Structure 1
Amino acid sequence: MELLLTYDVSTVTPEGKNRLRRVAKLCEGYGLRVQKSVFEIVCTDADLLTLLDKIQRIIDGAEDSIRVYRVPKGSFRTVKTLGIAEPLPHDDALIL
């Protein structure tokens, strides 16, 4: 499945800044950052459940906001971009 995950983590306290870093680092392990707080993610249902559980354990539900949008398969290949934004290679082979 293809997802857009967005987050808004309150950073008015040192704890909030720590939560923001932890959420960003977690999301980097699941997808590609397309904007500061937006990730394009290709994953399975099980991966999504794991990701959401991990995020839930990090955020403060009274201060932070996470949104996950399921988009039709193939959406990332047909994205329209403007400015310096470029489509990202979600389907490219991983070279180790």
Structure 2
Amino acid sequence: MLVLITYDVNTETPQGQKRLHQVAKTCKNFGQRVQKSVFECLLDPLQLAKVRSKLSSIICVEEDSLRIYHLGNNWQSHIEHMGINKPYDPKGPLIR
């Protein structure tokens, strides 16, 4: 299934800046960055549980925001893209 992971990490402190780096690194391990704080990830249920667990251990729920949108298996009809950067095809080749 395709999930969209978005986050907003409070970077006013050094700890927040560290969390931001850790969240981005974790998301990169599971998907493709499509905007600065937005990742598209093609995951099975076990991978989704793993990324959710990792991210929830990093963020500070009092200062940060994390959203996971489930686009499902029929995701192609749910994404519309305009502007720069070619749309990401999670089923396409990894090397561009």
How many residues matched?
Answer: 95
For residue 67 of structure 2, what is the aligned residue in structure 1? Answer: 67
Task: Please identify, of 23-32 and 75-84, the stretch whose mean Cα deviation from structure 2 is larger.
Answer: 75-84
| Unaligned segments of structure 2, at least 5 residues | none
Of all paired residues, the percent bearing the same amino acid is 41
Q: How far apart, CA to CA, are the structure 2 residues paired with 1:78 and 1:66?
A: 21
For residue 89 of structure 1, what is the aligned residue in structure 2? Answer: 89
Deviation at 1:93, TM superposition (A): 3.9
Q: Deviations over 1:51-95 (max 9, x none)?
A: 111111111111111000001324247732222131112112446
Task: Call closer, same or farther: CA 1:83–1:67 in 2, change over 3 Å.
Answer: same
For residue 18 of structure 1, what is the aligned residue in structure 2? Answer: 18
| Unaligned segments of structure 1, at least 5 residues | none
For residue 47 of structure 2, what is the aligned residue in structure 1? Answer: 47
Q: How far apart, CA to CA, are the structure 2 residues paired with 1:25 and 1:77?
A: 28
Q: Given the two structures, how large is their TM-score scaled by the length of structure 1?
A: 0.89
Q: Given the two structures, how large is their TM-score scaled by the length of structure 2?
A: 0.89
Deviation at 1:2, TM superposition (A): 0.7
